[in-house]
Structure 1
């Protein structure tokens, strides 16, 4: 069935179910909004004032309910569930270029649900978001999906309450499904981790009146909120990347557009065939350049890249009143960049075939730029990526969009990436390396809808195109 759907999408260029394409466009362009923008601003401010999580960084050996295995050094929950932190050794070869390294990585074999409930209210499609506080959030509360739950969460492995609104996502009705695809998480720090990104349409069984902490928003309102710093969380952005081309929904697909998509799929397969990455699980104790530092955190000897820290958390509003966990802390923000140009088929995005050790397919579509400056400056082992200077200090190409977007606050501690979208001037020429290719927005969206083809960074910045 999935193969038939994929073939139909390739032929038609469709992403959104035809019955609801017009509703998505109307929700993005205007129409009735249940709450005006001033109300939404006050609601967000009140939600942030009500933050109740108290966090304290602690040594890894002091994290409640977790332990480091003596033989391997790997960090695991006492129950054997949730996630673990282990080591990997990686050998990466492309052509004559060879790179070898080891690192800590999160292993969480569970497939979680990231779901947004949508509903027509007075004829306009609205989306239900949640003001959710996570221990690693920048700004405390961020706008999360209706449901954001791991398998352990919704099967109540932690002993807490069952997440609200989970039922439509566990056994989804195909007639109410706007979008449902497995998508990979951060392939540089999760090992083979995927979550199911979903948008489900609700009917009269879900009232307009929502429980405290939830709100109905139109796509226009959400697009405006994404342009603010660190407000719409990473999971919401990942899901809504599937709607980034709402303005093109319903337009006829040309023969050139179909041929271009087939060429893109062939190019992506060619890059996967040319990329050889061998990832081997090892213990944290066996990592060559990582160690437990003087604070009891697991860090690189250079203090670069990231570190694993312990976190002690208490809350008056969560399903569980207190817990401990390891969490990733990054010493510096990264840059996620996208270069645009106008082509004969509309807006085009410069994407790269990005290899990441935690991706099952190794290579997925990434944004034009995806790097942390400090990891490259002064590092003789790493070659600066294509257009490094242009995105590190914009000036050569006009700036279209810039915002700070937080990473997922349950696994990353107060981390954000600078999102920059630049425009290639009309008539300008740009010689591309083999790993880079121009895609129309519609081509990129079809690949999002195929699932596990577009990486988390690309989906994050594509949401800024809503």
Structure 2
């Protein structure tokens, strides 16, 4: 089936209240108000972090997270590697407050400053906080609206989901959406109620909506077609909604589960924690700073000042990137239903075996698997680009770690499956979003961007 597409971000003015420009102007105001300053320091200059008895970098409270060393077998590159990883066993809270009003859904958006964000401030969930933060280990101000997230019984979505498995060790966040009866006035200008459907075009913008917000939006809206259907959808978006409820997959769910079970039976995670000062290989340790000419990232200690955070000054370790990650997803219409060519991937930080991610997920050409390299070579001649955007990932733990996302359209017969790739229908993905540890954080960000594309018959 031939399709026509429209990138909704090309329209600057939207129906009702907010325009894209107004949202970006609000973010700029909050960025200036935050007075965010980040300075690189040495670990020995930190008043809060130290190299502990396990040779990990840890906080003096033994909360937040640790930076540890990891030795593991990398399946795509088929070799043993060492790298630093974030060990954060606490479950973070990512929660949107929403309200069903006359005229549609409204969502409480937060303009949140993070030290590693491109642009400083990005739009975040209403509540975005680690357990240590909302329990006020830092002795700072309370997290606004936390009681709604923790105590409300009106949960429209509630599931644990993984973070970036290449950087976090078995880390999960609670992705939650809570319905409130009315859109109450906000006491801080960093919070605004925005019509839900007017947020969709912004999902096509680079460095505007953070990865945590994208994750919650994708989980909630794409796992619950009824909610999406009650938003004011454009005609072209109805094709996306139809695919969510369609039951015409190329592979039935049992076959896909057998595929994943077979991969999990064949490949097991082989990883061991090691002292972070003894990573070896090309890693160099310099008073808490770790660099490597063979890896796309490094670790450094930073001191942060931010006037709009619960604690206006702190320091922390952070992972910094020196090259972008390629996150490319191929989509097609099969049996009248939207399908995505997904990759099953087992990374060093995975908790429960393989998870499904984008068609290509690689920090560099060298990091691509053999199958990914073949796709990267052949896709330009058989695909059409639907959407490109960039995102700086998890600015609280990553510094300028940019992912370059692209969604490509192809005829399914022109792009073949591989041992690690399968065509999966959007309705099947919808079902998996209701479960934990099936869909990677990177794929959830991609799925959120589908809401910014209008699909229609050509």
Question: Match for residue 215 of structure 1?
Answer: 192
> Aligned-pair distance for 1:334?
0.8
What is the alpha-carbon distance in structure 2 between the residues aligned to residue 109 and residue 133 of structure 1? Answer: 23
- Note if 1:343 corresponds to 2:305: no
Q: Distance in 2 between matches of 1:416 and 1:31?
A: 28
Paired residues of 2:356 and 2:438 also in contact (CA < 8 A):
yes
Question: Structure 1 pair 36/432, CA: closer, same or farther in 2 (3 Å)?
Answer: closer
Instruction: Give the match for residue 4 of structure 2.
Output: none
Residue matched to 1:4: none
Alignment-derived partner of residue 106 in structure 1: 86
Q: Of 14, 21, 40, which aligns to 1:57? A: 40
The 3-state SS of whatever aligns with 1:398 is strand
1:132 aligned partner: 112
CA distance in 2, matches of 1:41, 1:279: 43
**TM-score, normalised to structure 1's length?**
0.84
Give SS of 1:158's match.
Answer: coil
CA offsets, 1:312-360, max 9 Å, x none? 1112232212111000001101111100111114111000111112111
Give the TM-score of the pair, scaled to structure 2.
Answer: 0.85
1:86 aligns with 2:68: yes
Distance 1:329 1:72 in 2: 23
**Which of 318, 321, 328 is residue 330 of structure 1 equivalent to?**
321
Distance change (3 Å), C-alpha of 1:253 and 1:303: closer
Stretches of structure 1 that go unaligned for 5 or more consecutive residues are 1-29
Q: Residues 349, 304 of structure 1: CA spacing in aligned structure 2 closer, same or farther, 3 A cutoff?
A: same
Within-5 A mapping of 1:407-422: 407-422=393-408
Q: Contact (CA 8 Å) 1:351, 1:436: kept in 2 or not?
A: yes
Kindly report the root-mean-square deviation, in angstroms, between the aligned alpha carbons of the 2 structures: 2.7
Unaligned ranges ≥5, structure 2: 1-12, 229-237, 452-458
Aligned position for 1:193: 171
1:237 matched to 2:214? The reply is yes
Q: CA deviation at 1:209?
A: 4.9
Give how far 1:376 is off: 4.1
CA distance 1:229–1:252, shift in 2 (3 Å): closer
How many residues are matched? Answer: 424
What secondary structure is seen at the aligned counterpart in 1 of 2:217?
helix
The 8 Å contact of residues 86 and 168 in structure 2, kept in 1 or not, is answered as yes
- Tell me the CA shift for residue 125 of structure 1: 0.3
- Answer yes or no: is 1:373 the counterpart of 2:358: no
Residue pair 1:134, 1:410 contacting (<8 A) in 2 also: yes
Structure 2 distance, partners of 1:371, 1:402, is 16
2:387 is matched with which residue: 385, 393, 401?
A: 401
CA–CA separation in structure 1 for the residues paired with 2:155 and 2:286: 51
The aligned counterpart of 2:6 is: none
Alignment partners' CA distance in 1, 2:342 and 2:445 = 13
2:264 is aligned with 1:264? no
Q: Please tell me whether the aligned partners of residues 246 and 337 of structure 2 are also in contact (alpha carbons under 8 angstroms).
A: no
Closer/same/farther in 2, CA of residues 255 and 145 from structure 1, 3 Å limit: closer
| Residue 461 of structure 1 pairs with residue 446 of structure 2 | yes
1:161 and 2:141 equivalent? yes
SS in 2 for 1:450: coil
